[in-house]
Structure 1
Amino acid sequence: MNIDPTLRIPVAHEPSAFPPAGLDRYIARTLRVSACHLPWEVARQIHAEHQAVEGDNTSQSNLAGLRVLELDDFSWRVDVTADNIAAAQALGWHELRRLLRLAQTYQCEALELAADNLALPSVLGLMVFAWP
């Protein structure tokens, strides 16, 4: 049997190029995209509902139980859950539902929408709306 003398087997005390297999559950995966993927009317409604609940960073939609964390004016974080996907569908917010489903497909824990985030590639078929 020939053994390649240049082959190195990592020693336990050497740092690995990859994190331990179980570490991925501790690292949050977030899909960050432009808030302009939402129509202005939807963005305005999410913002208005958040403003109605002063002092509380988490607002719950009166219509469908959508849980949204407003990070800044017109910048939000939405957890990727079956309840939030269903709430977006019940509200008729198809663009938000599609974004949540995209995040779910890539096993993201959250969707972050902010003006300074990049728009998704047009090949995905998601619109980019002009805001006032």
Structure 2
Amino acid sequence: MNNESTPPAPQGPGPSAFQSVGLHRYIARTLRVGAQHLPWEMAQQLHVDLQAGESDDGGPSHHGGLRIIELDDFSWRADVTGDNIAAAQTLGWHALRRLLRLAQTYQCEALEIARDSPVLPAVLEFEVFPWP
């Protein structure tokens, strides 16, 4: 006898029905920004290190304590944690640290940095670095 049953899909009530069951816990808040917010040298170092297989088990990089994964060429994802913020500070990667802090301020769980993501509005005063 199979006791596993799939609950029926909600009909009619809309998003408010999802809020009542706490669906918001399953939806991660991610800040997505353009990779040009990182200096080219930093982006290149991250890319080369991750392509070289710094993480032998195929998991995230532990570059200087920084846990970050490369999603695609010059596109990364990092969890917004105190450890990652501290690691960025230790590495001297202030641009990455500022992005992580911004994500933390807005209670994001992750930071995604990609070439095709838009740069932040100028009013936030985040530098946009020239890339080749």
- Normalising to structure 2: TM-score of the pair? 0.83
Q: Which residue of 2 aligns with 1:72?
A: 72
Question: Rg bigger for which structure?
Answer: 1
Q: Which residue of 1 aligns with 2:13?
A: 15
Give the Å deviation of 1:55.
7.1
C-alpha distance in 2 between matches for 1:14 and 1:57: 41
Q: Which residue of 2 aligns with 1:105?
A: 105
Question: What's the RMSD between the two structures over aligned residues?
Answer: 1.8
1:60 aligns with 2:53: no
SS at match of 1:107: coil
C-alpha distance in 1 between matches for 2:73 and 2:90: 24
**Which amino acid in 2 is paired with 1:20?**
Q
1:51 aligns with 2:51: yes
Aligned-pair identity in percent equals 64
Size of the alignment, in residue pairs?
A: 119
Encode CA deviations 1:39-87: one digit per residue, 9 max, x unaligned: 00110111111012177252210xx210111000100001101100000
On the 8 A contact 1:57/1:70 being kept in 2, the answer is no
Give the Å deviation of 1:25.
1.4
SS at match of 2:44: helix
SS at match of 2:71: strand
Give the Å deviation of 1:16.
3.5
Structure 1: 4+ residue segments shifted above 2 A: 16-19
Identify if the C-alpha distance between structure 1 residues 86 and 27 changes in structure 2 by more than 3 Å, giving closer, same or farther.
Answer: same
Encode CA deviations 1:13-45: one digit per residue, 9 max, x unaligned: 741443315221110111001000000011011
- Normalising to structure 1: TM-score of the pair? 0.83
